[in-house]
């Protein structure tokens, strides 16, 4: 039996995921949380969770930072990202941050089952839709500029796109505001942009955020 923790800020989505996974006798949804902070607190107590299913776009520290913190504290705990974000750039960054699988919410239930099962066996999986897009991007001259960012730069860019200010990002990831600004400036230089509006348009172009 693979015991699961679902982390998503949308209660309807949490119930929907639970309902889908209840179809499979090898899965048991033990608990669900609305934020990364709640998940971290829950996992700090005695539990028998085998796999975490985690959304990216949540209030508070968000899915990216939650992934990083959980991986540091529980490096053997598999994390399956389940998100609406279909960027070809994000999966590689999330896998580096500690995720085991990256799935889009449009995936078929059986593929989600496969991803969870593989994650439980410490094997990586990326949704078929994104894996194909990533493969095509390798053959294209129009590669995502976000691929060149470091893990920390990408994390700060994602938080910026979610409306967080530099001082809030600094507090969330436990660095100084000056450090955040340095990473942000370097990321902007790599992306060849000058403003948050430029970032927003570029993120739309490369599916880092939803239209």
Name the average pLDDT for the chain: 90
Domain ranges across the chain: 2-137, 145-205
Handedness of CA 86, 88, 93, 94 (dihedral sign): positive
| Mean pLDDT, residues 140-156 | 82
Per-residue pLDDT tens over the stretch 99-141: 999 999 989 999 999 999 999 999 999 988 777 766 655 555 5
Q: What CATH number was assigned to the domain covering residues 145-205?
A: 1.10.10.10
**Top-confidence residue, 148 or 40:** 40
Q: Judge contact between 5 and 32, C-beta under 8 A.
A: yes
CATH superfamily name and code, 2-137 = Response regulator (3.40.50.2300)
Per-residue pLDDT tens over the stretch 96-110: 999 999 999 989 999
Q: Tell me whether residue 145 is exposed, middle or buried, using C-beta atoms within 10 angstroms of its C-beta: 0 to 12, 13 to 18, 19 or more.
A: middle
Check whether 90 has a pLDDT greater than 90. Answer: no
């Amino acid at each position: 039996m693979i015991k699961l923790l679902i982390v998503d800020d949308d209660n309807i989505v949490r119930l929907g995921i639970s309902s889908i996974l209840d179809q499979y006798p090898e899965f048991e949804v033990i608990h669900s949380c609305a934020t990364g902070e709640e998940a971290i607190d829950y996992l700090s107590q005695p539990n028998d969770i085998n796999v975490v299913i985690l959304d990216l776009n949540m209030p508070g520290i968000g899915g990216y930072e939650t992934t990083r913190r959980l991986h540091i504290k529980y490096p053997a705990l598999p994390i399956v990202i389940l998100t609406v974000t279909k960027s070809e750039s994000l999966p590689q960054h999330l896998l580096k941050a500690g995720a085991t699988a990256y799935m889009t919410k449009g995936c078929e239930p059986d593929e989600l089952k496969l991803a969870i099962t593989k994650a439980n066996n410490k094997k990586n999986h990326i949704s078929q839709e994104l894996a194909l897009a990533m493969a095509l991007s390798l053959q294209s001259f129009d590669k995502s500029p976000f691929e060149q960012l470091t893990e920390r730069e990408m994390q700060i860019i994602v938080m910026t796109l979610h409306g967080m200010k530099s001082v809030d990002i600094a507090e969330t990831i436990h660095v100084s505001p000056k450090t955040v600004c340095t990473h942000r400036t370097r990321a902007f230089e790599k992306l060849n942009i000058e403003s948050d509006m430029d970032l927003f348009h570029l993120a739309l172009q490369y599916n880092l955020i939803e239209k």
